[in-house]
Structure 1
Amino acid sequence: MNSKVEGILHKLYGTTPGGSGLQPKEALAYGIAGFGQNFICTIIGSYLTIFLTDALLFGAEGVTIGSITGSMAVAWLMLGTRIFDAFNDPIMGSIVDKTRTKWGKCRPYLKWMAFPIAIMTIACFLPVFQEKATSTFIIIGIIYVLWSVTYTVADVPYWGLSTCMTNDTVVRGNLLTVTRLLCTLGAGIVTVFVPIITGNLTAKFKYTDADITKIMADKGVDAETAKNFIGTVIAGQESANAELLKWTYFIAAVVLVVVAVPMFFYGFKHTKERFTADDNPPSFGHNMKLLFKNDQLLLIVISGILGGARMVYTYTGGLYFAKYVLQNEGMYSLITLLVVPGGLVASLLVPWMSKKFTKKWAYISVHLFGGVVMAIMYFVGYDAPWKLVIAAIGLVLLGIPQGVNNIITYAMIGDTVDYLEWKTGERGEGICFAMQTLINKIGMAVGAFIGVISFSAARINAETGFISAEGAQTLWNMLVLSGVISMFACAVPVMFYKVTEKRQAEMVAEIAARKQK
């Protein structure tokens, strides 16, 4: 590595040149693995739902799975699978804490799971599935559950690895800041380019109340006849378009997986574990006892669950809004891009905010701010150009809590690992960082669920693209109001968090003193 570049990276990460601690090359390798991981996570988290409702047409009018509509079946599949998998995280955390290999306990999973997760990701988007078929829904449901379990086996040890690489809270905070920025960049690439491609395939087939009114006037027919006329004309086009969408998502998944897998191996090869637990592997039951002794971690978990809906507009809900209300699926790329500037600036300022205000109060303040911003967006609305400008400004500002949350939560959990070791003599990285993946999955579950519930409540017909004015307002209200409530609610538990930067440093010093005796 060039000496000037290495010097810049040392300053960025806060590492010591030539020391025995964390070095820039491995810190960067850790971030690159996260960059690739988010290619895979985002294609599933953001697009599997719309693949089901729009490409496989489970969101079409009249489609049922058992006794419920197809769109509601998709909503319950997303929620149920992700919550089921979220509660697998403590089990995986326990497995990580019991893992003993020559490479360490967290690092080897980057190597072991690269190909399994690649295969399961591609399987979720196989283009051979039959549209609207109950058998298709069952098969994809099984594949999705298997994907979720496979992803857990990779994700839990990945985030636990950061505490094994360094125990310096400042360096670890910088490591996680850069890594989360790379993860956000990876997710951003997927969310920007996939909708632009699929939007060009779908936008021209949509129709609105205005189209119906025009046909009523031109042909002298009632609204129902006009609606049926348009539906008949474009239904065949939309069916052909759904077939094209299936192949588009499949090709996107293959390309992203091919790019991501080498990054897993690069992260495995160039990282190093320095701090691990005792040689006696803990049982799952023992790990669960450790979890409930880590009361500071539980506050973060509760906050994360309450905050599950705070960014619902960046998940499936935002994609539905762009596609059916704004009549341009590619606008979803703009929605996600608007969040980036605020998120990027906030991410870069996290170390300064943590030092100036502490992680606790940085977290609380940005979420209260986000709640106020979303409340303003809710009351202003969207149904005029100037209102959309206000909404766009709001999205830029909402990048601030997103950027801070993406980094500070990981750093706070890392601090609670030190807290747990100070309190019990055991670190329990696996079980602790399993809670971060649990938070992420419940957040994605809630986001997807609210998005599809809003889709259903708005009475959108995925086959013809019809949405009424009342349906559009319903979609807006549900997406934004859920975010308002979630932003305010998630700040409350953290008010009771006690692991300040000063206290964490004291605990690390006490732990080191004990080990020297």
Structure 2
Amino acid sequence: MENENTLQSTDFTTEAPKSGGTPQPGLSQKKYIGKREFIMYAVAAGGQGMIYAVMSSYISDFYVNVMRLPLVFVLLLMLLARIWDAVNDPMMGMIADKFTTPLGKMKAYVLFTAIPIGVLTFFMFYVPEGFNQTELMIYAAFIYVFWGMTYTVSDVPFWTMPNIMTPNPKERANTISFARTVNGVGTAIPLALFMVLSWIPSLNAEGDIEAEKTKYMILVLVAATLGIALFITSFFFTKERVTLPPKPKRKKGEHGALYRIFHCKPLMIVVLMGVLSSGRYMMQAAAIHVARYAFYIGPSLEGLTGEALNEAYAGSIGTVSTLFQICSAIGMFGSMLVMPLLYKKFNYKQIVIVSCLGGFVASIISTVFGTLSIYFDNLQWMVYMLIPFIIVQCIPLGALNVTAYAMIGDSLDYLEWKTGFRDNALGSACQSFVNKLGNALATTFIIVMYIIINLDPSQSMASDAIKRVTDLTKDQRFGMFALVSIVPGISLILTAIPVFFYDITGARKEKVLSELHERRAAQGINFEA
């Protein structure tokens, strides 16, 4: 019997298959996930988003401009540690697929790791008193790497859960879409809090490192405490239903899980799509750097000294950061909210390609307006012309965040249909791998840009002051601005190329689902509602 508390999710329009029978009603219509479970999984995703946003959006700024670590060290740490962290994802996926704990197959990992992640997040933004630069480097490296490994243990199983909460691909897509949307809302909470803190004079004396430390401490305490409290609820309010019978022990010479994953063409296209789209992460990760070093928005600086001058610079940083974060939020959340409606009329392939092309065009226009604002003093007002185009640039940020997970689910259906194996956690780990590698590449390029434009905040450590935007040349300022304009645009146009070869759409997708349903029924596999 269908669960009386089942959420009536949006039905998707599908094409009738050209061959292979008609879609099976039992597969396409039955709902498994109740309203409370649907909502609470998304709430937990929002909590996780808060935690990850603090790290991904602000850790590079904290290390470079507050902790004052050497640029080359930060570059190597961001790149190598995050690549190592990304490599851990497939390993964690294989572990989660192979073992089942007494508390569940996937959700138990959230219970075990939530509190350690919160504690490590706090220490990531804590500067120990009395440490010299070498000791700070060792401290930062240890906490950063340990945080990443601990986060992986919960992240991979958590985003695998929709694949085992329901066998219904449409219900799964709705669950992922809503959860990713709320996850995006969660990422906005630390950004909004940072904006509010930027308006408090005592926390924004430009050049005061202690004020910056205090601001980050407040930010991380709120985000970590609230985020973990929400994240851990997924253990208590979700149910694991899709548990296929274990396969016989692998025979000698038989291909293993990694071989199956790497030879699953649709899945590898999704992975390549994610790697190429890594530039989109700069819209959030680089915003604070652009606010510090690309634009000045505020009153004339002529005649200003002391506290008045500091307040003018601090106000500009807050204004520019707020401008970019609000535009990012509108573009990202707006696209996430309309995804379920778009899925009714268009397939995943069409949505990804069109959003990437639109983002690329918007980035070109943004680059033009931003360049004019930087190089011509009488055109500084043109920074406000960026607003609609930054919003359009951020549409792929939301569209890809949601659609990639849905494409992973379809790829796992294809994998099971093709091989008889369904490596849920390992498949989902591929997307986690892509997300972390993308963040690694984005953050690394931010540090590379500092080196390219010859800007090293650690060189001013003796003065205990942060370098100001008006101290930079126009070329240096443009270099910083490029991080949120032309660089993400190039990334998006490259992303669209492999997606043209993704073919789990229309009649082929229906054929896979129909035959997969028939095979499960013949094997006597039924999933509990």
TM class by shorter chain equals: 0.7 to 0.9
1:397 and 2:392 aligned: yes
Distance 2:111 2:135 in 1: 34
Distance 1:127-1:12 versus aligned 2 partners, 3 A rule: farther
Distance 1:365 1:153 in 2: 34
Distance 1:308 1:366 in 2: 15
Code of the residue aligned with 1:324 in structure 2: it is: Y
Offset at 1:501? 4.7
Partner of 1:340: 329
1:491 and 2:480 aligned: no
Partner of 2:65: 54
Q: Deviations over 1:420-478 (max 9, x none)?
A: 11011111011100011111111111221122222333333533414222211222235
Alpha-carbon contact 2:45-2:183 (below 8 Å) kept: yes
Of residues 454, 465, 479, the one that matches 1:459 is 454
Alpha-carbon contact 2:359-2:492 (below 8 Å) kept: yes
1:427 and 2:415 aligned: no
Offset at 1:52? 1.0
Distance 1:45 1:320 in 2: 13
**Structure 1 unaligned runs (5+)?**
59-69, 206-237
Other structure's SS at 2:317 match: coil
- Number of residue-to-residue matches in the alignment: 465
Q: Deviations over 1:175-205 (max 9, x none)?
A: 1111111011110111122244156567653
1:514 and 2:492 aligned: no
Distance 1:413 1:81 in 2: 25
Code of the residue aligned with 1:252 in structure 2: it is: L
Structure 1 or 2: larger helix share?
Answer: 1
Code of the residue aligned with 1:458 in structure 2: it is: I
Identity %: 28
Alpha-carbon contact 1:165-1:273 (below 8 Å) kept: yes
Offset at 1:79? 1.5
Of residues 216, 222, 243, the one that matches 1:276 is 243
Distance 1:129-1:38 versus aligned 2 partners, 3 A rule: farther
Alpha-carbon contact 1:306-1:489 (below 8 Å) kept: yes
1:246-257 correspondence runs (5 A) = 246-257=213-224
TM-score, length basis structure 2: 0.82
Partner of 1:354: 343
Distance 2:331 2:474 in 1: 31
1:296 and 2:266 aligned: yes
Code of the residue aligned with 1:293 in structure 2: it is: H
Q: CA RMSD in A?
A: 2.6
**Structure 2 unaligned runs (5+)?**
13-25, 297-315, 458-464, 523-529
Partner of 2:119: 119
Code of the residue aligned with 2:415 in structure 1: it is: L
Distance 2:261 2:188 in 1: 33
Other structure's SS at 1:439 match: helix
Partner of 1:10: 8
Alpha-carbon contact 1:196-1:329 (below 8 Å) kept: no
Code of the residue aligned with 1:22 in structure 2: it is: I
Offset at 1:134? 1.7
Partner of 1:217: none
Offset at 1:77? 1.2
Of residues 48, 54, 63, the one that matches 1:37 is 48
Distance 1:342 1:137 in 2: 36
Offset at 1:29? 1.2
Partner of 1:322: 291
Distance 1:352-1:164 versus aligned 2 partners, 3 A rule: same
Alpha-carbon contact 2:280-2:394 (below 8 Å) kept: no
Distance 1:94 1:198 in 2: 43
Code of the residue aligned with 1:143 in structure 2: it is: I
Offset at 1:250? 2.5
1:28-427 correspondence runs (5 A) = 28-58=39-69, 70-130=70-130, 133-198=133-198, 200=201, 205=206, 238=207, 241-280=208-247, 286-315=256-285, 317-327=286-296, 328-330=316-318, 331-380=320-369, 381=371, 382-383=373-374, 384-427=379-422
Code of the residue aligned with 1:244 in structure 2: it is: A
Distance 2:62 2:486 in 1: 26
Q: Deviations over 1:469-510 (max 9, x none)?
A: 221122223542211210100111111001115433332221
TM-score, length basis structure 1: 0.84
